[in-house]
Structures are given as structure tokens and as C-alpha cells.
Structure 1
């Protein structure tokens, strides 16, 4: 039976025109479902914002845009490390891939810390989910995203364990984990634009 790495080679090198879908079908199904759910939240947010733009704009000014920018850079950098690590694992450079996966966890792990650092002063100032619709959407959507970040860090941990235990790793498994993390990154970019940048 052909290994994942061997199965990958013809589509990538032997025949550049051959179509290759990275990861596993189950992960793509999960991601599409997740994007659909978040998409509904995004639409609802835009509808309610259109109905009371002054309230949303005033509430938006209470957010810490600097932390939002830093969190965006954190996720973009971690996704870059993970992409490079997945490519290294694909090429059989296990030690290099492990270093990059470790860097992904270290950098990505800053996100939950910064998010709690951002939430703390707001909650202390009385800006809770019950204050108005903006903060309800803000806490629900960023909280749901934070859960995805934590799950992503766990998945990358499994990727590291898999790579350490298998000289010939299942590349599809590694790609599936990387795709999930990139989806988390994409969702944050939309959330950042909606909550921090939109005027």
C-alpha cells in the first residue's frame, strides 16, 4: 500500500497538473460547517449593526485596538510557521518540522493570554455581554473563536506527538491539522475587521 508521502509525490512533482486536495475530507466537511455557522453570525451582526450603527460604533470604541492588532500578527505568524512546518514534514525534514510546530504552539499560545488580558479590564468596567447587542456579539463570537484557538493548539500538540512517533508520518493528518489552524486564522481576520476596524 502506498504511504501518504508517496501518494503525494505524483500530484506534486511527477505531474504538476494533477489535482491534489490537502488534508482529509472529514476535516474539510467540519471546516465548511464551521464557516457556515460563523457566516450566519457575521450576517446577524451586520443586520443588527445596520439597525443601530451609533450604538455599535460607540461600543466599538471601547475595544483595545492595539491588542487586536497584536493578536492578528500572532495568528498570522503562527500560521506561517505551521505552513513551513507542514512543508518540512512533507519533505521528510522531521527535526525542522518539529521546531516549526513548536514555534506555532508558542506563538499561538499568546492569543488566549492576550484575549483574557483584553477581556479583563472591559468586564471590570462593566462592559459585559448583557450591556448591549454589540458586546453580546463581541463576547459570543470572540469567545467561540477562542475555543477554536484552544482546540487548534491541542490539535497541533497531537501533530507534534504523531511526528515524533512516526518516521514516516501521515502527511494527510498533518495537513488536516494545518488546515484547521488556517481556518481559525481566517475567522479571526474577519472578526478583527468587523469588531475593530469597521466604522
Structure 2
């Protein structure tokens, strides 16, 4: 899992570098592109994923305490906040597309949609992993002595959260 996470972080790092270089080459375009985005959307998405990661971290602690029922509830809360992220992000995509912005509008929107959609797919994969973990937790598969798979799934979710935090600052905040 750690190798997979490292590979994913490398891919996102390449996207971030591409975004930064393209912005450096055309700062005016990126400034006007950011003006069409709502910072509050990025902030809500960030809070939703950070809170979700908090619940996953608590779930890891509960598994280590052999408290699978509590861990399962915490994973379900993590999934609920992940759904908030998905709903807000889909709303933002709908708004931007409704205003006529899409992948072909300009370099800013190409990179914005491509990078955030790539992240969106990672959120979906992470939610599948968390759901799988919740099912297995409900069956008492994990324990203090057998929690490596659970921890690996949690690590993946934290990577997804970390990437979004970096994306939030790169796309919504840094000018």
C-alpha cells in the first residue's frame, strides 16, 4: 500500500508542477480562472475531507482497542463526510459547466477539471475501500493483532485528504 500511495503522490506532484508552471507562464489567465471559483466550495470540501480523515483515524484507534462496533460507526461517519465532499464538488462542476466553462475553455480550466476530477476518482476509490473496511469491521475481521489492512486503508484515505489540501491551496487560495 505504501508503494501505491507513493506512486499516487508522484502523479499528483506532476500535476501540481504542471499547474504551477502553466500559471507562471500565464498568470493573468489563472487569476481570472480562480475568480470564477468559489473559495467557500473549496473550504467546505477541505473541511469535509479533514473531518472524514479524523473519523478514520479514530476508527483505527478503536480497532486497536478491539472495539469493532465503534470503528464501524466511525467509518460510516467518515463516509458521510466524504459524501458531503462529493455533493459539493458535483455542485461546483455543474455551476462551472452551466457558466460555459469546461476542459476546452482554456489552460486553467483544462488543468482544474483534469486535476480535480482525478482527485474525485481517488475519493470514490477511497470510499469503496472505507466501505469494504466497514463491512469487514462489522464482521469482526480486524483486531489489535490483525489491523494492518485496516491501517493501510486508513493511510490511503489520509493520502486522498492530503492531496485535496494541497489542491485546495494550489487552485483556490494561492495567487
RMSD: 1.0
Determine which structure has more spread, i.e. the larger CA radius of gyration: 1
Matched, 1:53 2:27: yes
1:83 to 57, 70, 73: 57
What CA distance in whole angstroms lies between the structure 2 residues aligned with 1:41 and 1:106? Answer: 28
**1:168 Cα offset (Å):** 4.5
**1:89 Cα offset (Å):** 0.6
What CA distance in whole angstroms lies between the structure 2 residues aligned with 1:108 and 1:128? Answer: 24
Show the counterpart of 1:171: 147
Structure 1-normalised TM-score? 0.85
Q: Where does the alignment leave 5 or more consecutive residues of structure 1 unmatched? A: 1-26
Q: Is the 8 A contact 2:122 2:160 kept in 1?
A: yes
Deviations 1:13-61 (A, max 9, x none): xxxxxxxxxxxxxx10000000111111111111111011011111111
What CA distance in whole angstroms lies between the structure 1 residues aligned with 2:72 and 2:15? Answer: 36
Q: Which residues of 2 match residues 40-189 of structure 1 at below 5 A? A: 40-166=14-140, 168-169=142-143, 170-189=146-165
SS at match of 2:105: coil
Q: Is the 8 A contact 2:59 2:74 kept in 1?
A: yes
Q: Is the 8 A contact 2:63 2:142 kept in 1?
A: no
**1:167 Cα offset (Å):** 5.1
What CA distance in whole angstroms lies between the structure 2 residues aligned with 1:171 and 1:109? Answer: 25
